[in-house]
Amino acid sequence: MSVLELQDLCVTYRTDGGPVPAVRGVNLTVEAGQTVGLAGESGCGKSTIASAVLRLLPRGTEVSGKVLLDGEDVYAMTPGRLRAVRWTSAAIVFQGALQSLNPVRRVGQQIEEAVLLHSTQSQAAARVLVGELLERVGIPAARADHYPHELSGGQRQRVLIALALACGPKLLIADEPTTALDVMVQAQVLALLEELQREEGMALLFITHDLSVLTHACQRLAVMYAGRIVEEGSSKEVFADPQHPYSRALAAAFPTIGDPISRMNPTGLAGDPPDPSALPSGCPFAPRCAVAVAECSTLDVALRHAGVGRSAACIHVDGPDV
């Protein structure tokens, strides 16, 4: 049984300007011990998915489809069961550690809070556990008494990881965990995630806009655009030979250093990521696509098989629908 399974997930926000469909029919599976990457840019819906898994979406948001955590439908759970499941079955490492941590409480206390909420341990035992967690993520246990602003960016991110691990979840969702960090600290955090995942046997859903980070960190990769998955497959294959023009652009966005093709030749896509409240008809990528044909502006293509264990939603892919 998969740790996480999204079945035709649709999420529509209610805003003053009308309903905004952020996620439009996503199917995704994460098996135990597996790392799955979700790549996409602003407005594609990937952070919405992270919040949707633990029912953290704002009130009034419409959710349809199924979110199965260990086989259980999250949206059919009673509030009591949901509270028990949150953080113990799945936990999120959010982006922007400075905003996610309470600035007026010590970091040790914040992790303790998570532990105490979900177990019957005494505060003393919890404090010991917190020390162990901090050491595990590479922070000296003495730092538990520090406030978030006294730590560096990399340390704060590690605190968030420790916080997420506090209840031993089977699934860790990391939403842009390294985006604001320096490249060396990013490498340290990625190595830490890899190590933890190996040791704990956790499943990891890694959400980011940097495709190249995912290549090394994940086994499987899904690329999102305008609320849908437009390509899926093993990360090496997707990065080496993208089938969807958007994946190709994303892969080319960060050049391979040393590659003469990208030397003095920055390539990107014209236009901007689409506004989820005003999607064009047909394929939402068509306005920016270099290989768009006439049908693309009227026909919205669904995911098609594009090889063994691969799929892409493009009219140029010859394959049966998934």
Partner 1 sequence: MVLMSDPVVSLTNVQVQFGGGRIRAVDTVSLEVARGEVVALVGESGCGKTTLIRSIIGLEPLAHGSITVEGKPVGMGRGLRALRQRVQMIFQDPSGALNPRHSIYEAVAEGLRIHKVKGHEPTLVAEALAAAGLRPAERYLRRFPHELSGGQRQRVLIAAAMALQPTLLLADEPVASLDASIRGEILALMRSFVDTHGVSIIAVTHDLGLAWNIADRVAVMYLGRIVEVGPTEDVLRAPKHPYTQALLSVVPEIEGMEQQILVGETPDPSRVPAGCRFHPRCPLVASGEADRRGFGDKCRGVDLELEPEVGSHQVACHAVANG
Contacting partner 1 (CB under 8 A), which of 6, 22, 92, 213?
213
Alpha carbon distance 250, 254 (integer Å): 8
* Residue 259 burial (C-beta neighbours within 10 Å; 0-12, 13-18, 19+): exposed
Query: Least distance (Å) from partner 1 to the CB of residue 204?
Result: 16
Position among 10, 57, 253, 279 found at the interface with partner 1 (CB under 8 A): 253
Residue 256 interacting with partner 1 (CB under 8 A) = yes
128 versus 240: smaller Cβ distance to partner 1: 240
Q: How far is the CB of 227 from partner 1 (least distance, A)?
A: 16
Nearer to partner 1, 37 or 108 (CB): 37
# residues contacting partner 1 (CB under 8 A) = 44
Give the helix/strand (H/E) hosting 108: helix 107-118
Q: Which of 2, 29, 234, 262 binds partner 1 (CB under 8 A)?
A: 262
State phi, psi for 318 to the nearest 5 degrees: -90, 100
Q: How far apart are CA 255 and CA 266, in angstroms?
A: 8
Neighbours of 42 (CB within 10 A): 10
Stretch 120-159: interaction string toward partner 1, x if CB under 8 A? --------------------------------xxxx----
Binding mask 175-194 for partner 1 (x = CB under 8 A): -------xxxxxxx--x---
Q: What is the DSSP string of 193-236?
A: HHHHHHHHT-EEEEEES-HHHHHHH-SEEEEEETTEEEEEEEHH
Containing 36, the helix (H) or strand (E) segment is strand 35-39
CB of 233 to partner 1, least distance (A): 18
DSSP state of 312: E
Which helix or strand (DSSP H or E) is residue 135 part of?
A: helix 123-136
Name the minimum Å distance from CB 286 to partner 1. 15
55 contacts: CB under 8 Å, gap ≥ 6? 74, 75, 77, 82, 86
For the CB of residue 26, give the shortest distance to partner 1 in the complex, in Å: 20
CB of 153 to partner 1, least distance (A): 7
- For partner 1, the binding residue among 212, 219, 234, 297 (CB under 8 A) is 212
CA-closest candidate to residue 72, choices 157, 164, 147, 4: 4
User: Which of 269, 296, 312, 315 contacts partner 1 by CB under 8 A?
Assistant: 269
Residues forming contacts to partner 1 in the complex (CB under 8 A) are 41-42, 152-155, 182-188, 191, 209-213, 215-216, 246, 249-250, 252-258, 262-273, 288
